[in-house]
Chain A
Amino acid sequence: MPEIKVTPLGAGQDVGRSCILVSIAGKNVMLDCGMHMGYNDDRRFPDFSYITQNGRLTDFLDCVIISHFHLDHCGALPYFSEMVGYDGPIYMTHPTKAICPILLEDYRKITVDKKGETNFFTSQMIKDCMKKVVAVHLHQTVQVDEELEIKAYYAGHVLGAAMFQIKVGCESVVYTGDYNMTPDRHLGAAWIDKCRPDLLISESTYATTIRDSKRCRERDFLKKVHETVERGGKVLIPVFALGRAQELCILLETFWERMNLKAPIYFSTGLTEKANHYYKLFITWTNQKIRKTFVQRNMFEFKHIKAFDRAFADNPGPMVVFATPGMLHAGQSLQIFRKWAGNEKNMVIMPGYCVQGTVGHKILSGQRKLEMEGRQILEVKMQVEYMSFSAHADAKGIMQLIRQAEPRNVLLVHGEAKKMEFLKQKIEQEFHVSCYMPANGETTTILTNPCIPVDISLGLLKREAAIGPLPDAKKPKLMHGTLLMKDNSFRLVSPEQALKELGLAEHQLRFTCRVHIQDPRKEHETVLRVYNHLKGILKDYSVQHLPDGSITVESILIQATAHSEDQGTKVLLVSWTYQDEELGSYLTSLLKKGLPQST
């Protein structure tokens, strides 16, 4: 039986370090190549030695696919391609290809320059790695080699995020990456056609959550910002440079526009400047509203949002500032926070989850006195708000995607084991498909039932299709022909042609059967009786009484002779060819029942 094997090297019952190995019909594909935020040792990268102990990775992998630019999906790429060594193709969408190196470079800088790590990939390595990348468009079918093809679908989540369909012959796997089923202010919803893959590998970050409408969240967020600004307070929004930051910018920008507000909005520079540039470029990857209005005005050319300068933080009057990083653990956002924390008119809004130990986490859990470096105590008087703006599909969204794609099997990754368990049970219950959730390093094998294409000559097809009712795509149809397996190809041909091609002489197979009938009359009378009987029953067939005393039903021959011993018993000889087997056996059984009583 053909099978698909899936082994997560990362993200199996876990979030972070996404890296999944898939072997399908003899092809090996690696899906994502991420790093783990939580570790600083070897565990931060997937264990590539699993793929091969000795020997080059290129020989074992046919291609690598990166779903989007988040570091937990692409962070290990330069390490993998340059330091471990991989020269095969790497596929990602255009925006991912554009933004990915910026993030990698930033990541490198933090690790090497700030933390002083050695034995890490270099800028040059990032560049070399990006040279191996092949960019793909949405819905473009890319032939990796003769048999393997991949196709990208829109996934929402972040700019350029894509779901990938990997197809070999008629076996296929869909990998979702991270996706979002509800549209937001700058991105659309994930969409896939009814591609009916053998396996759907889905993320399951929010496996046990059904989220509230995004409108309530947006409204709350805007109301809070608006109120604070009207009071003359300052609003600090710590964000990570890409993704949610743009979402919030668009949200505030349109709100400012709508409400005709004048308070300045600032965005701390750096990464974002560059990234915003790409957002402007890849307008086709955004949602309907932005796509439709960009001719008048590109939504990412912010009118109200200006670059931030360190000195602005001390300016009087209301303002809104987006500052990195998002968890208030270092950098500009922390500096501004320290300046503004003392005033109860000000507000800080945390738009995402904060890791334990960061200032963000502390203030969210209600701590009002913070100990800063140098024994300094910072009293937090400003308001602290939490607003979740996450772009993952919730349980309903995951189910919706499964419904759209109609897979035969589902495999969950990128989530916590306990939550996956629940979703797995739900999926099996609702869709009656089997669902898997392998841990890292654990291999799941899925048996497939691939269809085998067979060539058929048009003449034969038409001839066979003409028999019986109209062909129906949804019902299997019985056809007569000869299956020729030659040179690794299958062909269905008519028997005559098959004989000709194979150079074989045609043999005829005839069945002959004797039926004994008790009939005291003369032979020809018996024959006549049989003839009348058959004629009466088989109305649709041509039944003929030949002058030589035999009967033919279509091509079946019936002859009657008297039994050599018992004249009262007549022996009917029924003879038919192999092709007429059905009718022949029917006739025999009919005759065996005997003739009706003569009238």
Chain B
Amino acid sequence: MAAHLKKRVYEEFTKVVQQQHEDLSTKKLRLTKPSKSAALHVDLCKATSPADALQYLLQFARKPVEVESVEGVVRILLEHYYKENDASVRLKIASLLGLLSKTAGFSPDCIMDDAINTLQNEKSHQVLAQLLDTLLVIGTKLPENPSVRMRLVEVACKHLTDSSHGVRNKCLQLIGCLGPVEKGVAKEAENQAAKDVQKIIGDHFNDQDPRVRTAAIKAMLQLHERGLKLHQAIYSQACKLLADDYEQVRSAAVQLIWVLSQLYPESIVPIPSSNEEIRLVDDAFGKICHMVSDGSWVVRVQAAKLLGSMQQVSSHFLEQTLDKKLMSDLRRKRTAHERAKELYSSGEFSSGRKWGDDAPKEEIDTGAVNLIESGACGAFVHGLEDEMYEVRIAAVEALCMLAQSSPSFAEKCLDFLVDMFNDEIEEVRLQSIHTMRKISNNITLREDQLDTVLAVLEDSSRDIREALHELLCCTNVSTKEGIHLALVELLKNLTKYPTDRESIWKCLKFLGSRHPTLVLPLVPELLSTHPFFDTPEPDMDDPAYIAVLVLIFNAAKSCPTMPALFSDHTFRHYAYLRDSLSHLVPPLRLPGRKLVSSAVSPSITPHEDPSQQFLHQSLERVYSFQHLDPQGIQELLEFTIRDLQRLGELQSELAGMADFTATYLQWQLLLIKALQEKLWNVAAPLYLKQNALASAASKQILEETYKMEFMYSGVESRQVVIIHHMRLQAKALQLIVTARTTRGVEPLFGMCEKFLQEVDSFQRCFISELPHMQGSFVDKLLDLMPRLVTSKPSEVVKILQTTLRQSTFLHLPLPEQLHRATANIIEPTGESDNPLRFTSGLVVALDVDATLEHVQDPQGTVKVQVLYPDGQAQLIHPKPADFRNPGPGRHRLITQVYLSHTAWTEPCQIEVRLLLAYNSNKSKASTRIPKSTWNESLEALPPSENGIEGTIPFSKPVKVYIMPKPARR
């Protein structure tokens, strides 16, 4: 064998030499490849001691090997392998074989035989294990070759009797990864390996080494993942493994049991020590519940997690998990939860408790008390009280999943979830609040529970409070006292943390609209109206008063009798709030008053939103302006833009759409204005000043196009075309302006060429869209293309100018959903008069808290900009961890910005704003284009075009007063 190998290797060398003679220059690259194996061979032959050889191999392993030379290298290594006496070197060679087989593009079937051969004479267990690992790599590289796999599995089975755990481990792993999955294949190959792999693996569940037991279970799970249906018989074996001494075995066994319970949920298994029988899923559930009080926390986490996904379990088993029979001195005791419930139902809420209130009542029959049930008893009670917060979180998650599928369980687990609101770890509290929100459809909070929930409103963590507000948004409250309590607590929260204003108002909005009948009896009290006396009018700017009004108005929406209780000023306030906080205050049908929406005739079908209609109508109107005179067009555009902007403010759901259209129209308006400048008609070159409007307009248009492309989420390809088209027009305008203002032709050459290239790339990128763009600028331009390419710059400019004027206004199709990326800086508020003092040259941290809406990938795009009064600007990239994601399309940036400056004499304001970074390379268009075309165009285009990176400010700047003091000496 070795001789044969050697021959092959030498053959390779001779080939090299020949090539060298034949063609030196062209095949240079290929020359190095065989020489690599040759070098290795030389090195290994040179090596005098095993340590030397090992060093060479280690060095060799660091360098990558090309696909073509892998086989040669493998031969060399194998040859050396047979000669080598030292186990460590052989081990390294074996591992290198595995590494080399992984090389992409290399098909390892040619070395498989050799690798299997090496196994036969190997004595060292470590090397054996490594070789099996190599075989595993080879096997996974050849997925579509069942016969190879069969062979490998056979080899593995043979080595299963090895005395070393490492070897058995690898064998099991190999069987798990490569064992036949389909029954058909097993029958075809009529050899020994066709034996049931499950049986082979199952035999090793009782191996003496825990590592092998773990590997066996993992192999079984691997088989399951690959689609083999595991036998039900394994279940009883797996159950025994739950009592294993080693945690990794138990952990894997829990998983296996879970898998089986999902496979055979309805089978019946007997309960040992009795002649009853239960469903397998129930039995498995009980067993996994038992593991929630395991000694190892790893197993506990595992068990708690898996519980959540066992939804087929019967309800009485499920409810047991929350049941822990209390007793004291052998007498039954009620849990605090039960007592609370009883107090509540007896109508006596929150009595001052006395000592012995929880005194045990009935005697318990000592025989009936089962201290450690094999069933699910109290699993969640234990899980939620666990020492490790990982277990608690897993338990909360599991509770959430189970409660979502079972309303009765949701009702039961409520008490426990509420308790978790007081956990010492914030993460757990947050998780349980979120969980509660998710299941809130199924539950109604009792007053005492609400009380506990509301107590958390005073938490100093903003995340917790906001999560709680979200929860309250979708909670059902049972009594009017509950509503009152919630309102009072929310107002308390408002006074303590005024920054929560928006979130609290929103919360009250939903609370009101969900419980109109409960709010109704509270109205007089809340508005402090009196049947006989006039009460003073409350302050309209008081956030607390606004909060109350938001609650009432939203309740009044579905409660027509409520407005009768309002006093005069309430109506006035309604009108004011409806206008200023339109997203919080719904339209109301008030007596004696015309409703805004009442103008709409009732014939309109309800699903067609009138405002949506308005939007489309105004757009239609604009598109038909062709017939108007220029002045008329301008006016129409201006009015439409104004309308759209107002519409956007009023209708939050249409804001993105309206803004987008308004920007588009704005652009058109600017273009028209720019082109209408009288100056164009003057033949002579213009001064820059004279042309200020046009050049400014072209610049602005360019900016707007970037805004339109990157600031809106939901922009589709049709819009992208139009935006790019706009950009092209803006660039044309720019070109014209420059042509008219600069003397000399030389700079124009470059610009013209660049522009033409852009047209070209536009055509290539959007070729499919061109038919839709009849009569547009590009359409016309492409017609003239042959002429443009050949003509002089001045000619080009002229042509462009006329085409720009003649081109029609493109119809902007609107996508279904369009949202504008917005950011709102909550902190700093910019209202402080106290300057932030710090020593110059040192750093001060400024907390920035902002909400971002509809920003895709905020981690990559959102930046913070700080502008100093001296014009110095600083761009800060927040850490990815600073972004939180409280809901779909919403993000929250909470970060610290480090400021520093040299000393100032006076405190001065700096501006902080958020920027949206974009890269035209990553434009939405490019993702759509097939890669090959893009690559070609990439080569063709000048690099400057591809890499345009810029930023769009998308939040209002906030001013912060700072004062760097000179350092004291």
Contacts and interface: CB of A to CB of B under 8 A. Distances in A.
B245 interface: yes
Contact of A474 (B206, B329, B387): B206
A366 B354 contact: yes
A182 B392 CA distance: 13
Contacts of B452: 219, 223
A185 B324 contact: no
B contact patch SS = loop
A131 interface: no
A176 to B, nearest CB: 15
A399 B460 contact: no
B326 A212 contact: yes
Contacts of B355: 350, 364-366, 384-386
Nearest to B352: A383
A364 B356 CA distance: 9
Interface stretch (A419-427, A540-548, A590-598): A419-427
Contacts of B366: 422, 425
Contact of B496 (A212, A260, A365, A474): A260
B328 A209 contact: yes
Nearest to A250: B424
Contacts of A400: 293, 372
Interface in B668-714: none
Interface string B354-382: 11101000000010011110000010010
B206 A258 contact: no
A403 B459 contact: no
B208 A471 contact: yes
A288 B293 contact: no
A385 B458 CA distance: 24
Given A366-B355, A419-B329, A404 B295 contact: yes
B327 A208 contact: yes
A220 B336 contact: yes
Contact of A216 (B335, B371, B386, B459): B335
Given A183-B387, A188-B387, A260-B458, A216 B295 contact: no
Interface in B408-443: 416, 419-420, 422-425
A158 B355 CA distance: 25
Contacts of B385: 182-183, 213-215
Interface string A453-476: 000000000000100001111100
Contacts of A222: 422
A214 B326 CA distance: 13
Given A185-B424, A213-B419, A470 B496 contact: no
Contacts of A211: 326
Contacts of B329: 208-209, 419
Interface string B910-922: 0000000000000
A41 interface: no
A258 B459 contact: yes
Interface string B149-164: 0000000000001010
Given A260-B460, A422-B330, A472-B208, A399 B371 contact: yes
Interface string A187-209: 01101111000000000000011
Given A183-B386, A426-B371, A472-B206, A218 B328 contact: no
B420 A426 contact: no
B245 A194 contact: yes
Interface residues of A, number: 58
B460 A257 contact: yes
Given A209-B327, A425-B366, A215 B420 contact: yes
Interface string B127-147: 000000000000000000000
A217 B335 CA distance: 11
B791 interface: no
Given A208-B329, A258-B460, A384-B355, A213 B381 contact: yes
A219 B417 CA distance: 13
Interface in A214-240: 214-220, 222-223, 226
Interface residues of B, number: 52
B326 A289 contact: no
B460 A259 contact: yes
Nearest to A156: B387
A213 B371 contact: no
B961 interface: no
A288 B161 CA distance: 43
B455 to A, nearest CB: 7
Contacts, number: 127
B422 A208 contact: no
A288 B389 contact: yes
Contact of B424 (A192, A289, A474): A289
B926 interface: no
B372 A396 contact: yes
A262 B207 CA distance: 62
A465 to B, nearest CB: 8
B389 A208 contact: no
B293 A213 contact: no
B187 interface: no
B384 interface: yes
Contacts of B328: 208-210
Contacts of B387: 183, 188-189, 287-288
B371 A396 contact: yes
A215 B293 contact: no
B326 A210 contact: yes
B388 interface: yes
Nearest to B168: A470
Interface in A410-454: 419, 422, 425-426, 430
A192 B389 contact: no
A254 to B, nearest CB: 6
B461 interface: yes
B772 interface: no
Nearest to A395: B371
A361 to B, nearest CB: 10
A254 B424 contact: yes
Interface string A358-373: 0000001110000000
B468 to A, nearest CB: 13
A227 to B, nearest CB: 10
B353 A385 contact: yes
A385 to B, nearest CB: 7
Given A210-B326, A212-B335, A259-B460, A218 B422 contact: yes
Given A215-B420, A219-B452, A289 B389 contact: yes
Contacts of B459: 258-259
Contacts of A219: 419, 422, 452
A360 B208 CA distance: 59
Contacts of A395: 327, 371
B419 A216 contact: yes
Given A183-B385, A210-B324, A470 B336 contact: no
Contacts of B381: 213
Contacts of B455: 223, 226
Interface in B490-523: 496
A182 B382 CA distance: 8
A213 B208 CA distance: 40
Contacts of B458: 258-260
Contacts of B207: 472
Given A209-B329, A226-B455, A366-B354, 19 more contacts: A182-B385, A183-B387, A213-B385, A216-B337, A219-B419, A259-B458, A259-B460, A288-B387, A288-B389, A386-B356, A395-B327, A396-B324, A396-B378, A426-B371, A430-B371, A465-B163, A472-B207, A474-B206, A474-B208
Interface of A: 182-183, 185, 188-189, 191-194, 208-220, 222-223, 226, 254, 257-260, 287-289, 350, 364-366, 383-386, 395-396, 399-400, 403-404, 419, 422, 425-426, 430, 465, 470-474
Can you list the 5 inter-chain pairs with the closest CB atoms, starting with the nearest?
Answer: A183-B387, A216-B336, A473-B208, A386-B355, A215-B419
16 contacts: A208-B327, A211-B326, A213-B385, A218-B422, A223-B452, A257-B460, A258-B458, A258-B460, A289-B424, A366-B354, A385-B353, A400-B293, A419-B329, A419-B330, A425-B366, A474-B208
